[in-house]
Structure 1
């Protein structure tokens, strides 16, 4: 029988977790309905979203359940604090601290297993990634995504990379999106190798290209893809942070992807990483003075990275993938500074062009973390 708002039950957070971990039968959700939290007016929302605001409370008021999580009564004054939670860097810190803490998390689905995420004592840094075309390690880049689209025969083929930035959104290059049918693959380290579990494939239900993107140029080459469902976070699937500063104070960054290892070669079967030098826009402009892909020259919305001696670069199939640095505060946290956009050849002495993520933070936030009521039902799920 469904729980009504008038008959909402009070329960401790620990007991609430036990209900899900034991796989109890759940009642209807009542999401979005009004409720009362003590003497305060509230609204029924997913527990995972409201949890940071209720974690100091000894009791939680239950409105009902979905198949994925409890629906609890959240005080209305949480809306101001929700705006803070919608900040991408705060969200990212929450994702990272949870998955690196070794705490117990479940997918909050009936009958789901509980997985203890082991703390990672050592995390990759820029310094130990100064190699070209080296295979990535398990758990090193859990934000890496692949985009599959149909070829001329209708077969799904992986064409580009992308970055998971939230539980239901990935970021990529706009020039990658030649089809309305896209499947995002997460959690894959090497094709055909299920040693660490099968990858997760999710359909894309919404494609948002930057409104000022122009095909055949590399201006505003950025797009966002909404997944058909929120993904469950784990040690091999977790979002990256977005780098918000307009200047990059590092001389090196790391690019990753499943792209070709040589010009016109076949795509790599495993995820590769390469360390590249970061150049200022002014220093890079000399390489692209007469290029039809940048007819108006490079802008501050571009970022250049490469290896002037040649031999290290992104290549065909890497487009849309991330260019990243590690956080100064925590090496485990990847900060995305660029999106692979365009290059001349593969492994050449000319730097590649990347879309500078910091120039598009406001646009990204408005789509992925809107402050309207539609975003209030989003919850975080871990396994």
Structure 2
């Protein structure tokens, strides 16, 4: 009887109401120590107590997916924990944009996408900077982009990152840009040209970004099951059909396209897509046949919560003929690479 009561008390010690806890958040146990909210099945301390003994009525009431406050030694090493906790550091983007409609692309407003990054290459012939790719600020030091954006056949390696800008060629656009040099790059170890798989990379800035109304890191979506059907892509890429590059950041509302439909537009190619569209590695999105354009590569496929937080679901990878066909665009699925991202961006997080 005494052991049963002790086990029951230990369980109450770690269990909290699921409505009051969110996965990955820090939490406080009744003894004052700090833990992390995770499923009971992933917390050795809690799960041992749930399944121990013969208290079947108690065990049945507490399921493996019940969220508990866990203080296991290695709990913060679980993929997604560091992303969730980093997201809590950045306040929501308080800018309230007009409703985004699905069209041929619309100009964005000042400070509407404060995590948006422009990647620059040195154009020595014209003594200028060629802004050829996009990216997403995910911490004060790191930008998430596509692996193929790290090097341009024409201009060489990526050298510059600009945050907080709206129009890349003017200074009177109600923006407050911050310019950086590329300090280091991380290409996903499984990415190999010309394959389209694992097209994801990280760029290290030469100094910390400063949070302003115009610059703010985005959160990472850690859920492999994409249920959000209101997605947005942004970039300084080509305007549809005209082939003209734009200086003003553009946005386009998209919908998630299921894998079976997406596969119909992209044949298996032994050089680039040996397994066709791969659902684990890639996510597709489109709007009535509209597709991403050249120059948008590396930029985010994102959603926005009602509270104003942006979540990055995908990294712009490739498409078919810039919306001249009815195919959707293909994006690298960020959730599949969370453990790799966290091992670099938050490697020193205790």
TM-score > 0.5 by shorter chain: yes
Give, in whole Å, the separation in 2 of the partners of 1:152 and 1:297: 38
Q: Is the alpha carbon distance of 1:159 and 1:88 closer, same or farther for their aligned partners in structure 2, counting shifts above 3 Å?
A: same
- Listed as ranges, the matches of 1:110-149 within 5 Å are 120=94, 123-124=96-97, 128-149=100-121
Structure 2 partner of 1:343 = 319
Aligned partners of 1:255 and 1:276 also within 8 Å: yes
Matches of 1:351 and 1:217, distance apart in 2: 19
Correspondence for 1:353: 330
1:267 Cα shift? 1.4
Does the Cα contact within 8 Å between 1:263 and 1:315 map onto a contact in 2?
Answer: no
Q: Which residue in the other structure is 2:20 paired with?
A: none
User: Match of 2:345?
Assistant: 368
Partner residue of 2:276 out of 297, 305, 314: 297
Q: Which residue of 2 aligns with 1:267?
A: 245
Residue 261 to residue 195, structure 1, CA distance change in 2 (3 Å): closer
Q: Deviations over 1:90-146 (max 9, x none)?
A: 21222125xx6xxxxxxxxxxxxxxxxxxx3x6348x63433311111221000000
Q: CA deviation at 1:284?
A: 1.0
Question: Could you tell me whether the CA contact under 8 Å between 1:307 and 1:350 is conserved in 2?
Answer: no
Tell me how far apart the structure 2 counterparts of residues 208 and 263 of structure 1 sit (CA, whole Å). 34
Helix, strand or coil for the counterpart of 2:231?
strand
Q: CA distance change for structure 1 residues 134 and 171 in 2, over 3 Å: closer, same or farther?
A: same
Matches within 5 A, 1:77-156: 87-96=82-91, 120=94, 123-124=96-97, 128-151=100-123, 153=125, 155-156=128-129
What residue number does 2:149 align with? 176
Q: For residue 186 of structure 1, what is the aligned residue in structure 2?
A: 163
The answer to whether the Cα contact below 8 Å between 1:210 and 1:220 also exists between their aligned partners in 2 is yes
Q: What is the CA–CA distance in structure 2 between the aligned matches of 1:80 and 1:196, rounded to whole Å?
A: 46
Residue 222 of structure 2 corresponds to which residue in structure 1?
Answer: 244
Which residue matches 1:227?
Answer: 205
Which runs of structure 2 are paired with 1:267-346 in the superposition (5 Å)?
A: 267-291=245-269, 292-299=271-278, 300-308=280-288, 310=289, 312-327=290-305, 330-346=306-322
Q: 1:247 and 1:83 mapped to 2: Cα distance?
A: 21
Deviations 1:145-177, CA, capped at 9 Å, x for gaps: 000012362642101000000000000000111
Contact 1:305 1:353 in 2 (8 A): yes
The residue number in structure 2 matching 1:35 is: none
Q: 1:197 to 1:354 in 2, by over 3 A?
A: closer
- The gaps in structure 2 that reach 5 residues or longer are 1-25, 28-72
Aligned-partner Cα distance in 2 for 1:205–1:264: 35
SS of equivalent residue, structure 1 residue 288: coil
Structure 1: stretches of 5+ with no match in the other structure: 1-51, 54-78, 101-119, 377-383
Equivalent positions of 1:66-85 (< 5 A) are: none
Following TM superposition, by how much is the alpha carbon of 1:80 offset from its aligned partner in structure 2, in angstroms?
8.7
C-alpha separation in 1, matches of 2:164 and 2:85? 23
TM-score of the aligned structures, taking structure 1 as reference length? 0.65
Q: TM-score, normalised by structure 2?
A: 0.71
* Whole-Å separation in 1 of the counterparts to 2:336 and 2:108: 28
Task: Name the SS of the counterpart of 1:220 in structure 2.
Answer: coil
d(CA) in 2 for partners of 1:82 and 1:282? 36
Structure 2 match to 1:4? none
Task: Measure how far apart 1:344 and its partner are.
Answer: 0.9
Distance 1:235 1:340, change over 3 A: same
| CA pair 367-93 structure 1, distance change in 2 beyond 3 A | same
Count of residue correspondences: 271
How much has 1:214 moved relative to structure 2? 1.1
Structure 1 stretches of 4+ with a deviation exceeding 4 A read 79-86
1:157–1:128 CA distance, 2 compared to 1 (3 A):
closer
CA distance in 2, matches of 1:231, 1:157: 22
Q: CA deviation at 1:235?
A: 1.1
Partner Cα separation in structure 2 for residue 188 and residue 149 of structure 1:
17
- Cα distance between partner residues in 1 of 2:81 and 2:232: 27
- 1:332-383 CA-to-partner distances (Å, cap 9, x unmatched) read 1111101110111111311111000000000000000013xxx57xxxxxxx
